[in-house]
Amino acid sequence: MKITETIDIRFPKTLAEAVRLQASEKTRGKLLAGGTDLMVQWAAGVPIPKRAVSVWNLPELCAIEVFPDRIEIGAGVTHAFLRDAVQIHRHVPALIAAAATVGAKQIQARGTLGGNAANASPAGDTAPALLVTGGSVLLASVSGTREVPLAEFWTGYRQIAARADEIILAFRLPKKGKAQERFRKIGTRQAQAISKVMAASRILVEKGTIRSAAIALGSIAPTPVRLAEVEAFLAGKKLSPKLIDEAEKLAQATVQPIADIRSTAEYRRWASGRLVRDALENL
Amino acid sequence: MSTVQRTWKVNGKPVRVRAPAGRRLLDVLREDLGLIGSKESCGEGECGACTVIVDDEPVVSCILPVGQLADGTDILTIEGIEKKRIGRLIQAAFIECGAVQCGFCIPGMVVSSYALLAKNPKPSAKAIREGLSGNLCRCTGYTKILAAVKLAASRIPAAKRK
Amino acid sequence: MTKRTSQSVRWVGQGMPRVDADGKVRGTTRYVNDVDYKGVLHGVVVRSPVARGILKGLVPDPAFDWSPIVLATAKDVPGENVVVMHDRTMPLIAEIGAEIRYRGEPVAVVAARTPELAAEAARRVRVEVEELPPLLTLQEAIAIFKATPEKLDSMKSQDIVKGDVATGFAAADEIVEAEYWAGHQEQLYLENQGLVVFPQKDGSILAEGSIQCPYFPVHELNDCLKLPPEKIRVRQTAIGGAFGGKEEYPTMLIGYAALPALKSGKPVKIAYERNEDILFTTKRHPVWVRYKTGVKKDGTLTAIECDFILDGGAYLTISDVVMFRGILHCAVAYRCENVTIRGKVARTNSFPCGAFRGFGAPQAIWGIESHVDAIAARLGRAPHEYRRQIHARPGDVTPTGQVLSKENGSTACLELALKRADFAKKLKQVSRGRLRKGQRKLYGVGLAFFAHGSAFTGDGEAKFKAKGRVELARLEGGKPVVDIRVSSTEMGQGVHTIFTQIAADALSLPPAHVRFPMADTGLVPNSGPTVASRTTMVVGNVVHRAAQDLKRQIEAFASLRFFQGAPAELRASQLVAPGAKPVPFAKVAKALLAEIGPASGFFQFELPADIRWDQATFKGDSYPGYSWSANVAEVEIDPLTCELEVKRVTAIVDVGRVINPTLAAGQVEGGLTQALGYAIMEKIGTGKNGLYDAARLQTYIIPTALDVPEYDVKFVEYPYSFAPPGGKGLGELPMDGLAPAIANAVEAATGRRLRQIPITPESIFAALHAPQGGTP
């Protein structure tokens, strides 16, 4: 018997049922969406939970809603579904680009936006693109729904701000409007790559001046991070080659990456600045 | 452990399955249903040797707990591919182009090719590469596999193309 | 260029579809894990938790129920505890009181009804080891070697000496010296290792599984299992890739499985999952190679001095021969009168390295082909012009004193590669570290030129005398079929198809009449292992000759039985004789089977009488034949990120007679792609705990469909005429030269020479930029 067969998995039919299960320590289980992270971790020897609660295909988690100023993407939406939801592509293009780099087709068909966020890997492909929207996460529990800014969502290495009784319901993401977005991932190869460094940005430029800049990086810290110092430095400045040089250097001075099997600390530090340059040069 | 009972359509036929909810789809296919065409190589969703099609999307069956596949789920494995016209075109093209060597990745490759061509009968060269990028092959260097998918696509009757 | 070496050729030279393709595209081919072996026990190896130490004890957990478990230790080894490969140092399984030499060295084998129960039992054996400080990496060994050469713990040393390098250096105008490194590479066959050992009533064993060389275990486990060769029978199941990884390793695996199998009297299967397969099986040897070369202003190479040191891991196994092949490829492709090559196999406390496509040659060619570019750069010569001047061609003498025959297409490969890749023109467009007008990425083009020796080194084939049969022994569905009986295994490379073509031509029958059953030592003579780029050339010739022998027997029978003694000839599926009505082959074959019984054609391979080789001095004809190739790689490097993309690869190859152009091109494309991984992706280090650090497919990175460049593969044919149909070695050649071609292209793109593979964005960054970052 394979190890995952020993897990007691519950299959709630509705969100209400799911949050009720999660409300009590006696019924609560590890939340399992598409399984593309958890099933792998369990097979690789990460201790398995006694119970799991499947939120795969939970109807309340699978919708995308478009509002005048924002879109709301259910946590259970898969990367493949995002790829096919062309009506939202222009509102969050960095996120769409990021989702397209998750694994390959097979993983995109099962991996969900909520699962990618909850897994909270520093290399989670969609996190930087979510961060630069300045949006929030909706967390559901028996006591209702609360909203947590994405900037406060990833609290530490593989840690998130959700309580044990909460389920990620959706992502509430302001549309980019006139701002420009960009996503770039430096991976270990051209497909199915885990990132060495990646960057997402949402920058609003008016008449040559940067009105606002949101830039986030992945794989360079215990959590995905916004580059607050670089963003503050850029705000209100005229876009120029000199500014780009300075932003690149500032980013390199700001980050504190580590070395691991996929890259070196020196390269990650350098590439962090280079990806900031890339974002600015492509405005 | 929790056990589930499910009724799926596997390769067009209704199949009743009773298994631990956390049992991997690959194990149910290979061990319980005797469909040994899907292969296990990495056991962690990286290599695509276990690729099957679930409700029109290619998935890696080695990391899919069967409890999550509801009644009525439509599953297509390599054993069902030859019942499909596009499937037979793909298989013939693989043979003709010399796309097969050791063969261990090939069932997954054929299934991924089918998933691609069933949705997009006239894929670009890049779309073919992307469509197969979740299937690792260590023998062929992919070149003849990509050529085979292109050849199969060119033989899909025009009516099938969008 | 093709010489016709055999008459009535029909199938050789054609891209006939594979004979085994149908089952593979339909998913019906059965690999070892697809066979339902009723009643087998599942074996799991209990391993050392440290890289070096003294094994003090094995303590089964008293709280665990051992009644359903078979636990085998060194005490259960029936004979002498040794796996006899190229020395007698490696035990099958570590003994109490003995030294553990690598992390994961087997200390016990457990077997149980399910793999999960066996795995649990393996965890319940406490392995007590008194730890000793290990030497884990080649880097550490080379540091010792550089400080005090004689302190290197070398398991085998061998020199090649031609002329006198001191004289050569004295005559030189320039001395060019550099070191090159490469790390481990994992074979990464898609099908993991797996096999079953069935104990037989007579005390013998039958092993079946994913086994590349069925006759190896037959001769390597005799002492250990106390069984003569005839009591160890080995047969292959369908093999899901091997690349050398299932060459010598399955011997050990059979040994491990045999212990609980013999102890319990029940069949035992050991099938690895990916993680265990990467952690605890063989890899390509890491290498450190130092070249010191003397060269005159006019380009003449006056001296090549080379130290070539492989990381053999903890035991020699077959590493001596890997090193031999390595040193034989260190300087073979160039003209030079004075050569000294010193090869060594360093001992480290790591898993023994083993066979992997190329077998030492890729490591050697990685060094020399990088170095030839470095010499050309020193001389201010273009790399292709310089190679035109110094490359070896027919009539030249190799470092071991072998005179290259006319059957070497070296110049043809080089020239066609330069032409097809438009090399000279593209070389003018390279960036050399600075974007040219219109370039968004740094562009580089690089060349590598090399040979690969076909078949066993030296007089290996002369001594071995590969044997094979082609038999007419049975009817299938009422129709006579011919069986090829050789020990060559089908691993994906296509031997079942090309031997079918060869036999069909030799018999003048269509391939549909020919069968090639899976290799089984109980049924086939020993035609040798499926290794060393020897199969097409040597065993292909055996099949050709044995089929001709069978043809003569059929003709002789037909002559008497159907043509009143008139000479008969089997031609195009009919027996024909002058003035008589032809008789169909099927009719003759049935008559033969019914009236005389099975007919068997036999052949034993011999080398030409004038081949000479002195193993002691490493002088003489080091290989019966050489395949040649030139590779051109074009790369782009994004100056923004140092990301490297290989865009196009041109590969021109001379493998003699091309038996099946479709399959041959597939071999080249596949080998190039493994070489691509070796060059730019595949990185696996050793942690302080002695374990590989990239032991999953998520961390060990091989190329995907999106990573492969556009390939232009073309053949030039200089057949090996001594052994019709005239093929030379193909399998390993495409693995040999792409890494240095890419390194040379990276140098052209960046102006920096990288002397370690894989070449990654990190290493390009480190070469181009200051350690703490900043812009160029």
Query: Per the CB < 8 Å rule, is B77 touching C27?
Result: yes
Boundary-marking domain end, from A133, A154, A174: A174
Q: How many CA atoms lie within 13 A of C673 on its CB side?
A: 28
pLDDT of C57-103, one tens digit each? 999 999 999 999 999 999 999 999 999 999 999 999 999 999 999 99
Q: Are both A89 and A168 inside the same structural domain? A: yes
Query: Per the CB < 8 Å rule, is A80 touching B57?
Result: yes
Task: State the residue range of the domain holding A42.
Answer: 3-54
H helix count then E strand count, chain A? 10, 14
CB atoms within 10 A of CB C153: 14
Q: Are both C489 and C411 inside the same structural domain? A: no
- For domain B3-80, which CATH number applies: 3.10.20.30, 3.50.40.10, 3.10.420.10, 3.10.20.440? 3.10.20.30
Provide the residue type at C558 as one letter.
Answer: A
C697: which chain B residues are within 8 Å (Cβ-Cβ)? 41-42, 44, 46-47, 136
C-alpha–C-alpha distance, residues C416 and C98, integer Å = 57
C275: which chain B residues are within 8 Å (Cβ-Cβ)? 43
Cis status, amide bond into C725, omega within 30 of 0: yes
Contacts of B107 (CB under 8 A, 6+ apart): B37, B38, B39, B49, B51, B78, C25, C27
Q: Are both A28 and A78 inside the same structural domain? A: no
Q: Is the pLDDT of residue B158 over 90?
A: no
**Which of C33, C187, C670 has its CB closest to that of B101?**
C670
Q: What is the model's pLDDT at position C9?
A: 59
Provide the residue type at A168 as one letter.
Answer: I
pLDDT of C665-677, one tens digit each? 999 999 999 999 9
**Which of A189, A196, A252 has its CB closest to that of C704?**
A189
- Evaluate whether residue C114 is within a structural domain: yes
| C neighbour chains, 3+ CB pairs within 8 Å | A, B
Residue of C nearest to A268 (CA): C762
Tell me which H or E stretch contains C749. helix C738-750
Three-state secondary structure of A162-197: CCCCCEEEEEEEECCCCCEEEEEEEECCCCCCCEEE
A263 and C CB contact within 8 Å: yes
Residue of B nearest to C357 (CA): B139
Residue of A nearest to C639 (CA): A274
B23: which chain A residues are within 8 Å (Cβ-Cβ)? 2, 4-5
Q: What CATH number does the domain containing A245 carry?
A: 3.30.390.50
Contacts of A82 (CB under 8 A, 6+ apart): A73, A88, A95, A96, A99, A113
Provide Rg for chain B, Cα atoms.
16
A54: which chain B residues are within 8 Å (Cβ-Cβ)? 21, 65, 67-68
Q: How many percent of chain C have pLDDT more than 90? A: 97
Is residue A252 within 8 A of residue C773, CB to CB? The reply is yes
Q: What CATH number does the domain containing C678 carry?
A: 3.30.365.10
Task: State the residue range of the domain holding C382.
Answer: 287-457+616-768
Q: What is the model's pLDDT at position C774?
A: 38
Tokens of A51: 């119970």
Q: Are both C237 and C386 inside the same structural domain? A: no
Name beta bridge partners: A170: A74, A138
C-alpha–C-alpha distance, residues B61 and A232, integer Å = 47
Split at pLDDT 50, 70, 90, the class of C655 is: very high
Is residue B139 within 8 A of residue C734, CB to CB? The reply is no
Residue of A nearest to C769 (CA): A270
Query: Per the CB < 8 Å rule, is B22 touching A190?
Result: no
- Evaluate whether residue C115 is within a structural domain: yes
Provide Rg for chain A, Cα atoms.
19
The CATH H-level (homologous superfamily) assignment of domain B82-160 is: [2Fe-2S]-binding domain (1.10.150.120)
**How many CB pairs (< 8 A) connect A and B?**
106
- Evaluate whether residue C599 is within a structural domain: yes
A261: which chain C residues are within 8 Å (Cβ-Cβ)? 685, 693-694, 699
Cβ neighbourhood burial of B126 (10 Å; 0-12, 13-18, 19+)? exposed
Q: Is the pLDDT of residue C225 over 50?
A: yes
Split at pLDDT 50, 70, 90, the class of C6 is: very low
Q: Are both C516 and C403 inside the same structural domain? A: no
Give yes or no on whether B3-80 and B82-160 have one common fold: no
C-alpha–C-alpha distance, residues C555 and B126, integer Å = 56
Q: How many CA atoms lie within 13 A of B97 on its CB side?
A: 20
Cβ neighbourhood burial of C39 (10 Å; 0-12, 13-18, 19+)? exposed
Boundary-marking domain end, from A141, A174, A207: A174
Q: Is the pLDDT of residue B107 over 60?
A: yes
In the three-class reduction of DSSP (H, G, I as helix; E, B as strand; rest coil), residue C304 is classed as strand
- Read off the pLDDT of each residue in C592-621 and give the average, rounded to a whole number: 95
C-alpha–C-alpha distance, residues C525 and C469, integer Å = 7
Q: DSSP label at C40?
A: P
C21: which chain B residues are within 8 Å (Cβ-Cβ)? 94-95, 100, 103
A5 and C CB contact within 8 Å: no
Residue of A nearest to B20 (CA): A5
Query: Per the CB < 8 Å rule, is B133 touching A7?
Result: no
Cα→Cα distances C464→A33, C468, C603, Å: 59, 12, 13
Q: Is the dihedral of CA B150, B152, B156, B162 positive or negative?
A: negative
Three-state secondary structure of C545-592: HHHHHHHHHHHHHHHHHHCCCCCCEEECCEEECCCCCCEEHHHHHHHH
Q: Is the pLDDT of residue C1 over 90?
A: no
ipTM reported for the complex, 2 dp = 0.98
Is residue B10 within 8 A of residue C153, CB to CB? The reply is no
Q: Is the pLDDT of residue A78 over 70?
A: yes
- Read off the pLDDT of each residue in C550-558 and give the average, rounded to a whole number: 98
B42: which chain C residues are within 8 Å (Cβ-Cβ)? 274, 696-697
Tokens of C385: 């012009």
Query: Per the CB < 8 Å rule, is B133 touching A40?
Result: no
Nearest 5°: CA angle at B71, between B65 and B74?
Answer: 80
- Read off the pLDDT of each residue in C593-612 and give the average, rounded to a whole number: 95
Q: How many CA atoms lie within 13 A of A251 on its CB side?
A: 33
Q: How many domains does chain A have?
A: 3
Split at pLDDT 50, 70, 90, the class of C140 is: very high
Q: Are both A66 and A168 inside the same structural domain? A: yes
Tokens of A45: 């020897």
Q: Are both C496 and C600 inside the same structural domain? A: yes
Q: What is the model's pLDDT at position C776?
A: 33
Name beta bridge partners: A216: A200, A226
C243: which chain B residues are within 8 Å (Cβ-Cβ)? 138
Name beta bridge partners: C635: C444, C646
Q: What is the model's pLDDT at position C476?
A: 97
Q: Is the pLDDT of residue C4 over 50?
A: no
C-alpha–C-alpha distance, residues C280 and C577, integer Å = 61
Query: Per the CB < 8 Å rule, is B44 touching A106?
Result: no
- Read off the pLDDT of each residue in C208-234 and give the average, rounded to a whole number: 98
C-alpha–C-alpha distance, residues C279 and C267, integer Å = 25
Boundary-marking domain end, from C569, C604, C639: C604
Provide Rg for chain C, Cα atoms.
27
Query: Per the CB < 8 Å rule, is B22 touching A52?
Result: yes
C114 and B CB contact within 8 Å: no
How far is the alpha carbon of A1 from chain C, nearest alpha carbon, in Å? 6
Query: Per the CB < 8 Å rule, is A105 touching B115?
Result: yes
C239 and B CB contact within 8 Å: yes
Q: Is the pLDDT of residue B162 over 50?
A: no
Is residue A266 within 8 A of residue A257, CB to CB? The reply is no
Name beta bridge partners: C482: C472, C514
How far is the alpha carbon of B153 from chain C, nearest alpha carbon, in Å? 17
Q: Are both C591 and C636 inside the same structural domain? A: no
Name the packing angle between helices C661-680 and C738-750 (round to 10°): 50
- Evaluate whether residue C481 is within a structural domain: yes
Closest CA to C84 of C318, C346, C348, C320: C318
Residue of A nearest to C114 (CA): A1
Q: Is the pLDDT of residue C218 over 50?
A: yes
C-alpha–C-alpha distance, residues C725 and C539, integer Å = 11
Q: How many domains does chain C have?
A: 3
Q: Are both A64 and A166 inside the same structural domain? A: yes
Query: Per the CB < 8 Å rule, is C773 touching A270?
Result: yes
C190: which chain B residues are within 8 Å (Cβ-Cβ)? 39, 41, 47, 49, 102, 104-105, 136-139
The mean of the pLDDT values for chain A is 97
Name beta bridge partners: A215: A201
Q: Are both C381 and C498 inside the same structural domain? A: no
C671: which chain B residues are within 8 Å (Cβ-Cβ)? 141
- Evaluate whether residue C253 is within a structural domain: yes
Q: Are both A184 and A225 inside the same structural domain? A: yes
Q: Are both A163 and A214 inside the same structural domain? A: no
Split at pLDDT 50, 70, 90, the class of C144 is: very high
Closest CA to A9 of A49, A44, A45: A49
Q: Which of C276, C637, C640 to mutate to test the interface with A (most CBs of A within 10 A)?
A: C640
Q: What is the model's pLDDT at position C509?
A: 97
C665 and B CB contact within 8 Å: yes
C-alpha–C-alpha distance, residues C479 and C590, integer Å = 8
Is residue C169 within 8 A of residue C302, CB to CB? The reply is yes
Q: How many CA atoms lie within 13 A of C742 on its CB side?
A: 30
Domain boundaries defined on chain B: 3-80, 82-160
Is residue C199 within 8 A of residue C55, CB to CB? The reply is no
Q: Are both A80 and A169 inside the same structural domain? A: yes
Contacts of C380 (CB under 8 A, 6+ apart): none
Q: What CATH number does the domain containing A22 carry?
A: 3.30.43.10
Query: Per the CB < 8 Å rule, is C640 touching A270?
Result: no
- Read off the pLDDT of each residue in C580-604 and give the average, rounded to a whole number: 98
CB atoms within 10 A of CB A235: 14
**Which of A7, A8, A35 has its CB closest to that of B63?**
A35
Is residue C445 within 8 A of residue C632, CB to CB? The reply is yes
A37 and C CB contact within 8 Å: no
Split at pLDDT 50, 70, 90, the class of C7 is: very low
- Evaluate whether residue C399 is within a structural domain: yes
Provide the residue type at B48 as one letter.
Answer: G
Boundary-marking domain end, from C604, C633, C666: C604
Is residue B122 within 8 A of residue C48, CB to CB? The reply is no
B49: which chain C residues are within 8 Å (Cβ-Cβ)? 190
Q: Are both C453 and C387 inside the same structural domain? A: yes
Split at pLDDT 50, 70, 90, the class of C198 is: very high
Query: Per the CB < 8 Å rule, is C775 touching A248?
Result: yes
Q: Are both A16 and A42 inside the same structural domain? A: yes
Q: Spell out the alpha helix ranges (H) of chain A.
A: 15-23, 38-43, 79-84, 93-99, 105-110, 113-119, 127-131, 228-234, 241-254, 265-281
Q: What CATH number does the domain containing A99 carry?
A: 3.30.465.10
Q: What is the model's pLDDT at position A1?
A: 81
Q: What is the model's pLDDT at position C770?
A: 58
pLDDT of C235-288, one tens digit each? 999 999 999 999 999 999 999 999 999 999 999 999 999 999 999 999 999 999
- Read off the pLDDT of each residue in C393-402 and give the average, rounded to a whole number: 98
Q: Is the pLDDT of residue C585 over 90?
A: yes
Provide the residue type at C575 as one letter.
Answer: L
Query: Per the CB < 8 Å rule, is A189 touching C681?
Result: yes
How far is the alpha carbon of B22 from chain A, nearest alpha carbon, in Å? 4
Q: Are both A76 and A30 inside the same structural domain? A: no
Name the packing angle between helices A265-281 and C761-768 (round to 10°): 90
